[in-house]
Amino acid sequence: GSISLGSLVSKGKFAVAAVTLDDYLPMRSTEVKNRTSTDGIKSLRLITAVKTPYLPDGRFDLEAYDSLINTQINGGAEGVIVGGTTGEGHLMSWDEHIMLIGHTVNCFGANIKVIGNTGSNSTREAVHATEQGFAVGMHAALHVNPYYGKTSTEGLISHFKEVLPMGPTIIYNVPSRTSQDIPPPVIEALSCYSNMAGVKECVGHERVKCYTDKGITIWSGNDDECHDSRWKYGATGVISVASNLVPGLMHSLMFEGENAALNEKLLPLMKWLFCEPNPIGLNTALAQLGVVRPVFRLPYTPLPLEKRVEFVRIVEAIGRENFVGQKEAQVLDDDDFVLISRY
């Protein structure tokens, strides 16, 4: 028999259901998907913070993106960060961002670990995006501490505790961008969570060693420090920007033992990449290599002519065969670049 809406409301069932949290269930599927254990994330040595390429109207260029991901897989990268700082996640709407995570999993999830940057300085947004990211199959989440709208130590722990139960998680400490260092006691307080994979750490070797001595997994977030962090301070690997350009060489740097000569050879490229805030250098370089269109979402603008000339020389010094793409590196003219504000 049918029951009238009125009788249900009068019994208070709807009203009660709306306010009790006991029956709340996370947005989860019972299907066995490509669930990855936290250990499956902890073992990754080369993770690329991949660039998001654009079409001239500012939408994603998925054809170019797919080619970039294939190049990463062939170059030996074991994971990709989708929509990180390098991938300009902060310039995406959440629907674009989740779509790109889902697309990456759908096309490449069997061959590379897909780590979605679903962090936010709003806990609500971080929770919602992370829930959606895992629902579309990402293998792990990257979470930054709340930037700009900074919180207390207790607030940091509470923020991370909201997202940790959802799946494997890498916490990201980059005080130069957040203007707040995540202190070691916070990481230690969270290390008991089975989903805590480790930390992408940008503070330097001593901090890395402080964690690795305690058995906490660390990825260097600085390309110019990753060789020493890996071979001298116990880091597991790197979350790299440079590997967008030279995946094979970054793979060697992380896998083939201490190699000061290779590290030295790569330092001019790394220095060039960060002469302006990331991803300005990378965006310019990939356009010069002809693997992405020279389209920038503002506020990013390309490096100036003299820097582009310098890049062509760096490519020659390291060897064109070590870089992504097939075309000769071009200097490009200023008016080759398209800058867009509506995207």
Count CA atoms closer than 13 A to 4's CA, side-chain side. 3
> Which member of 51, 200, 211, 233 is catalytic?
200
Helix (H, G, I), strand (E, B) or coil at 92: coil
Q: Cis bond leading into 247, ω under 30°?
A: no
DSSP 275: S
Helix (H, G, I), strand (E, B) or coil at 250: helix
Q: Is 343 a catalytic residue?
A: no
Annotated binding residue at 239? yes
86: which residues sit within 8 A by CB, 6+ positions away?
49, 50, 51, 241, 244, 278, 279, 282
Annotated binding residue at 153? no
Per residue in 179-192, is it b (16+ CB within 10 Å) or e — as a string?
ebebebebbebbbe
> Which member of 42, 54, 113, 172 is catalytic?
172
From residue 158, give the alpha-carbon distance in Å to each of 24, 36, 107, 112, 183.
19, 24, 35, 31, 14
Helix (H, G, I), strand (E, B) or coil at 196: strand
Enter the tokens of residue 303: 């490096």
The alpha-helical segments, DSSP class H, found in the chain are: 5-10, 13-19, 38-42, 62-75, 94-108, 123-135, 153-163, 175-178, 184-190, 205-212, 226-232, 247-255, 260-273, 280-288, 305-318
Q: Is 200 a catalytic residue?
A: yes
Q: What's the length of the chain?
A: 343
**Closest to 96 measured CA to CA, from 114, 79, 117:** 117
Q: What is the set of active-site residues?
A: 172, 200
Residues at the binding site for pyruvate are 86, 239
Residues at the binding site are 86, 239
